[in-house]
Amino acid sequence: MKDAPQVQAARVTPLTCSGHTRPVTHLHFSGEVFISACKDGNPMLRDATTGDWIGTFIGHKGATWSAKLSQGTADKAVTGSADFSAKVWDTYSGQPTHSFSHNHIVRSVDFDGEANRVATGGQEKLVRIFDVRQGDTAVDEYAGHEGNIRSVVWQKGHGSEDRVLITADDRCIRYWDVRAGGKELHKWDTPNYPAQPITSLEQSRSFICVTAGKSVFFIDPQSREVTKQVDTDYDVSSVSLNPAMDKFVTGGSTELWVRVYDFATGTEQEVYKGHHGPIHTVEYSPDGGLYATGSEDGTIRLWKAVSGPYGLWN
């Protein structure tokens, strides 16, 4: 087992991953790889350390808004698209194994912990549950959101046992009990709607991480209360907390900067520019050695987050 990386102090040049032809909308790491969703409709799989291209998933006929890998093994991928479908892929063959039809754009997708079930959400304002062991028809759906669903996260760990599904539209987050047929467990309203709508929702090891307007919220997954709120002076599009839980990185929807913060104090520590368009998505690698950013400019950039040699940085 390799030693845990140390926090980096010096500035470094990011690695640029080309290949997409339109804005990159979502990134997700698992194991030794990561996947990117893009408005060009062609999700890509890459090496998590070097960014080297591994393969492209061909099959969608519209922009892909969301892409997730199965937990740990990364042997499956799921993608949500503007072609009114979500697809499950074999990451070794690159072939689709399931295609789930919808009546409108699918904005977000996620696997449960065993990658047997898929949750979807989007412009229909409905949460749908599919079971890959039971064909391509939804086994359940939950109504309640009044706006388009932006994010779907299947809560993993924290004693949830894949029981809790968390979804967000632009004004609220809803927690659903999957085993109770979609019973709503809790609802959290963003404090400054409509001026500052929710823009992203992701799960880190210990928090539900939310961006809304110019603020970042870290929500305890068990109490479902906001543990920390960090306010900025720009519109935040995405946030990722590193595995050590001492730093987090943000991207902005109206600026080109990547910003790194100290988690304990909420103070900005590093600011980098490399993209030529707003940043739609950010995520740390599982070991915290780097973080990836995806932009309106159609590129993915990898930024070293540790001291000393790492990957292609020597």
Residues sharing a CB contact under 8 Å with residue 3, sequence separation 6 or more, in sequence order? none
Place of tokens 């194991």: 31
State if pTM tops 0.85.
yes
pLDDT by residue for the chain (314 residues), tens only, comes to 334 444 444 567 999 999 999 999 999 999 999 999 999 999 999 999 999 999 999 999 999 999 999 998 999 999 999 999 999 999 999 999 999 999 999 999 999 999 999 999 999 999 999 999 999 999 999 999 999 999 999 998 766 668 999 999 999 999 999 999 999 999 999 998 988 999 999 999 899 999 999 999 999 999 999 999 999 999 999 999 999 999 999 999 999 999 999 999 999 999 999 999 999 999 999 999 999 999 999 999 999 999 999 999 98
Whole-angstrom distance, CA of residue 175 vs CA of residue 168: 9
Letter string b/e over residues 190-209, b meaning 16 or more CB atoms within 10 A of that residue's CB: beebeebbbbbbbbbebbbb
The pLDDT assigned to 5 comes to 43
Structure-token pair, residue 69 = 């890998």
pLDDT of residue 8: 43
Looking only at Cα atoms, what is the longest distance across the chain? Answer: 52
Predicted local confidence at residue 4, as pLDDT: 41
Q: Report the alpha-carbon distance of residue 274 to residue 205 in Å, rounded.
A: 28
The beta strands (E) that lie in 102-171 are given as 106-111, 117-122, 126-131, 140-143, 151-154, 164-168
Helix (H) or strand (E) holding 98: strand 96-101
Q: Tell me what pLDDT residue 171 has.
A: 96
Q: With pLDDT > 90 as the criterion, what percentage of the chain qualifies? A: 91
Cβ 43 vs Cβ 25: under 8 Å:
no
What DSSP letter does each residue of 45-86 carry, written as one string? EEETTT--EEEE----SS-EEEEEE-TTT--EEEEEETTSEE
| Sign of the dihedral defined by the CA atoms of residues 183, 189, 193, 198, in that order | negative
Task: For CA atoms 128, 140, 118, 171, give the dihedral sign.
Answer: positive
Question: Can you tell me the distance from the alpha carbon of 2 to that of 202, in angstroms, rounded to the nearest whole number?
Answer: 27
Please state, in angstroms and rounded to a whole number, the distance separating the CA atoms of residues 75 and 45. 11
